[in-house]
Amino acid sequence: MEPTPTPVITIGLNVNHPNFDYSMAELEQLVIANHMQSIATLVQKLDHPDAGTYFGKGKIEELADLVRSTDADTIVANDELSPSQIRNIENATKATVIDRTGLILEIFANRAHTKEAQLQVQLAKLRYQLPRLRTSASQRLDQQAAGGGLANRGAGETKLELNRRTIEHQISHVRHELKELGRSYETQSQRRKENRVKTVALVGYTNAGKSTIMNELVKRYGENEDKQVFVKDMLFATLDTSVRKLELPGNKQLLLSDTVGFVSELPHQLVEAFKSTLKEAATADLLVQVVNYSDSNQELMMETTQRTLQEIGVPNLPMITAFNKADRTGSRFPERAGENLIMSALDPASINELVAMISAQLFSDYVQKTYLFPFQAGDLVSTFNQEFDVQQTEYQADGTKLTVSLPASAAERYQKYEID
Ligand SMILES: Nc1nc2c(ncn2[C@@H]2O[C@H](COP(=O)(O)OP(=O)(O)OP(=O)(O)O)[C@@H](O)[C@H]2O)c(=O)[nH]1
Ligand SMILES: [Mg+2]
């Protein structure tokens, strides 16, 4: 059974923020993803945040009253706060303050499963903690850190120095471990490149349906249909990149990867840390951007996706945009316009259309050829049947005639058997 969510108060400052309501709604979702529940919300409109307390003086008093009159002893702020803002709000309200960055880091810390994701989150946490050594926001992260050993309650100046050095030491240690892992990772993807297996990466905003699409494709075309990935209606269900091998009709093989979802204002510490997980996307032959077409903020989400892809250094790759969850809208689907597809992951016709689009993009260098293999080259007939898309076979007196669709590069190798 899931534990009861921790009650919290969410707070936000509207500093001429055009998408303020949306960012507050997203904060509520992030809170839920961290097993918390917002029981009250306090917002203020200001020209700029108060340098010392974020909210203005009167609003801070209101917040303190709210803490006293509810069950919540945790406050979650919609922005990244300075260490002194966190400390001052905590002193004024006697509650624990977590900022948006700290919240996202907590979610990631609780969800990371692979060694690499865990190290990356740890690195991001350490970087976040460094300037915040004495706030309870960083202590919460401390307590979660594997092995702990960093608790610094009642820290004096010397202890603080010590902690700083410990953290710096840990940062370089984690970096080193990541580098080692990265090396083996690189050889893996290098090998894939050499074998010329085409790669496709699903990217996009969190909760858009990337993992659901991955599972539908694995069910139909996977080596092993049990290799399903985790799907859940909450933010950041996926944190680790999973790669699955698919074989589309006609022996067309590809590697499909499902990646971590993006969110507005993804903490820069995490963007940095996840660069290597997202390398899978950076080296792909094709990106499929999944968009939640039923969300009124889809434009914003697409902008965030574009910006994040740039930040993590994904070059401008060929892209198909899948406007997913159309079953929740009044729109017709599947409906294709160029490289855009309005679709639903729950609809087989949509999945077929998506596969056709992926296949057309990836295998555009395929050519159709007719070969005559004499009987002494009989081995090639079985090789061709295993590796390529054999569309027609005719047994003739002088050998076996095959009509085949295959990559242009492979066709070059078998030129001498080619007949018109
Ligand atoms: N109605 C409807 N629901 C969908 C569709 N695709 C996905 N969902 C649901 O949307 C929720 C999120 O789906 P996921 O596949 O986990 O989303 P994701 O993009 O992988 O999310 P993260 O891993 O958090 O980045 C789940 O509850 C899915 O069942 C769709 O086409 N239609
Ligand atoms: Mg997912």
ipTM for the assembly: 0.99
The pLDDT confidence band at residue 150, using thresholds 50, 70 and 90, is very low
Cβ-Cβ contacts under 8 Å for 120 (sequence gap 6 or more): 112, 178, 270, 273, 274, 276, 277
* pLDDT of 356 above 70: yes
Ligand 1 contacts (CB < 6 A) are 206-212, 231-233, 235-238, 261, 290, 324-325, 327-328, 344-346
Angle formed at CA 298 by CA 296 and CA 302, multiple of 5 degrees:
165
Quote the pLDDT of residue 1. Answer: 62
Count of positions (residues) in the chain: 420
DSSP 8-class letter at 315 = -
How far is 296 from 96, CA to CA, in rounded Å? 33
Quote the pLDDT of residue 420. Answer: 74
pTM here is: 0.80
The pLDDT confidence band at residue 405, using thresholds 50, 70 and 90, is confident
Of all ligands present, the nearest one to the C-alpha of 322 is 1
Across the range 150-179, mean pLDDT stands at: 73
Across the range 9-38, mean pLDDT stands at: 93
Measured in Å, residue 259 CA sits from the centre of ligand 2 at 7
For all residues of the chain together, what is the average pLDDT? 86
How far is 251 from 83, CA to CA, in rounded Å? 57
Tokens at residue 320, please?
């198909």
Cite the DSSP H helix spans in 206-313.
Answer: 210-221, 268-274, 279-282, 298-311
Listed residues: CB within 5 A of ion ligand 2: 210-211, 237-238
Measured in Å, residue 296 CA sits from the centre of ligand 2 at 20
Name the more confident of 160 and 406. Answer: 406
Peptide bond into 318 cis (omega under 30): no
Question: What's the one-letter identity of residue 63?
Answer: L
Number of helices (H), then strands (E), belonging to the chain: the values are 14, 15
How far is 103 from 267, CA to CA, in rounded Å? 10
Name the more confident of 299 and 235. Answer: 299
The pLDDT confidence band at residue 134, using thresholds 50, 70 and 90, is low
Quote the pLDDT of residue 148. Answer: 39
Tokens at residue 172, please?
């370089």
Quote the pLDDT of residue 149. Answer: 40
How far is 293 from 274, CA to CA, in rounded Å? 26
The pLDDT confidence band at residue 146, using thresholds 50, 70 and 90, is very low
Question: What's the one-letter identity of residue 222?
Answer: G
According to DSSP, the β-strands at 6-14 and 74-77 are parallel
* pLDDT of 202 above 70: yes
* Pocket-testing residue among 107, 211, 256, 293, ligand 1, by greatest number of atoms within 8 A of Cβ: 211
How far is 325 from 350, CA to CA, in rounded Å? 11
The most confident of the ranges 222-231, 282-291, 348-357, 360-369 is 348-357
Tokens at residue 385, please?
């049947």
The most confident of the ranges 94-98, 191-195, 272-276 is 94-98
How far is 229 from 277, CA to CA, in rounded Å? 16
Quote the pLDDT of residue 229. Answer: 81
Name the more confident of 289 and 132. Answer: 289
Cα end-to-end distance, the chain, whole Å = 67
Cβ-Cβ contacts under 8 Å for 398 (sequence gap 6 or more): 372, 374
Question: What's the one-letter identity of residue 294?
Answer: S
Which percentage of the chain shows pLDDT scores above 70? 88
Q: Whose CA is nearest to atom 11 of ligand 1?
A: 233
Q: 236 near 261, Cβ under 8 Å? A: yes
Angle formed at CA 172 by CA 168 and CA 176, multiple of 5 degrees:
165
Quote the pLDDT of residue 16. Answer: 85
Quote the pLDDT of residue 121. Answer: 87
Measured in Å, residue 238 CA sits from the centre of ligand 1 at 11
User: Residue 247's beta-bridge partner residues?
Assistant: 253
Tokens at residue 324, please?
């997913």
Quote the pLDDT of residue 280. Answer: 72
Q: DSSP 3-state assignment of 160? A: helix
Name the least confident of 30-34, 179-183, 214-218, 406-410. 179-183
Closest residue by Cα to residue 135 from 172, 204, 186, 88 = 88
Q: Identify the residue whose tokens are 């792909």.
A: 284
User: Residue 252's beta-bridge partner residues?
Assistant: 248
DSSP code per residue over 24-69: HHHHHHHHHHTTEEEEEEEEEE-SS-BTTTBS-HHHHHHHHHHHHH
Measured in Å, residue 320 CA sits from the centre of ligand 1 at 18
Cβ-Cβ contacts under 8 Å for 355 (sequence gap 6 or more): 217, 220, 221, 248
Name the more confident of 271 and 70. Answer: 70
Q: Identify the residue whose tokens are 């740890």.
A: 122
How far is 228 from 410, CA to CA, in rounded Å? 32
Of all ligands present, the nearest one to the C-alpha of 261 is 1
DSSP 8-class letter at 295 = -
User: Residue 336's beta-bridge partner residues?
Assistant: 341
